[in-house]
Amino acid sequence: MMSQDKEFTGKVALITGAGSGIGKAAALLLARQGARVAALGRTDEELQETVQQIKQEGGEAMAVLADISKPDEMEKAYANVQRQFGGLHIVFANAGINGVWAPIEELEPDEWDKTMNINLRGTFLTLKYAIPLLKENGGSVIITASVNGTRIFSNTGATAYSTTKAGQVAFTKMAALELAKHRIRVNVICPGAIETNIDENTQKRDLESAKEPVEFPEGVIPLTDGKPGTSEQVAELVAFLASDRASHITGTPIWIDGAESLLMG
């Protein structure tokens, strides 16, 4: 059922990584609240499923096949959105990978580069090519970082990943100040353990030798006795930050983790 609350009517939202997990949940929620959604990703089959679900619920959406780490593909993606939807108001830069988790001396340079290219360069390109469109009416950008690299540093091997996530927080603050005069807000969310399939693109290697011995109490997510959050809960935060209800919030990281990072930092 479409929501009665159509606060995004007349708005266009582009969401990266929209084929699954947090990106898909956000695409569905924003569409239910009236937004026309450009679902961007690298897996056409997943994107089509997201788009079809939105259309079945009476919403409007388009699939945009692109690799966020490639400038020409992202530039074309935004031109396509402009042509089909006529503007842009919300960008959810959500796509990313966990990549290879390994001790620093064993992490290959190309493994480091792949994580950097998708998570950090991809975030930069997603915002860079959105700015000309967002400048027309102002808008909201939300970036997905993580508890790793921002509050949690005990996940041995996640050095490349954590570095990109810390970088996204710094990038958000720089962008927020630079774009404020154009009425473009930029915020960053830092999820903890969420039920998604990002772990499928995590390759862990030889971590036991490098791990520091740490013991946590039973249930490492205090708010829920260890149960992870859901993509839908994160989507609700995205919708809030995208909305006029968050009109004075910019340059702000928000952790959504049930206090997990306060225990594990």
- Positions annotated as catalytic residues are 161
d(CA 248, CA 173): 14
Question: In this structure, which amino acid lies at residue 82?
Answer: Q
- H or E element: which one contains 24? helix 21-32
* β-bridge pairing 90-93 and 184-191: unpaired
d(CA 100, CA 108): 9
**C-alpha distances in Å from residue 140, one per residue of 6, 169, 210:** 17, 16, 40
Write the DSSP string, 26-84.
HHHHHHHTT-EEEEEES-HHHHHHHHHHHHHTT-EEEEEE--TT-HHHHHHHHHHHHHH
**What is the number of other CB atoms lying within 10 angstroms of the CB of residue 39?**
30
**What is the number of other CB atoms lying within 10 angstroms of the CB of residue 1?**
6
- Alpha-carbon torsion, ordered 92, 190, 1, 66, to 10 deg: 30
Q: Based on DSSP, count helices (H) and strands (E) in the chain, helices before strands.
A: 9, 9
Among the listed residues 49, 8, 50, 5, the one whose alpha carbon sits nearest the alpha carbon of residue 30: 8
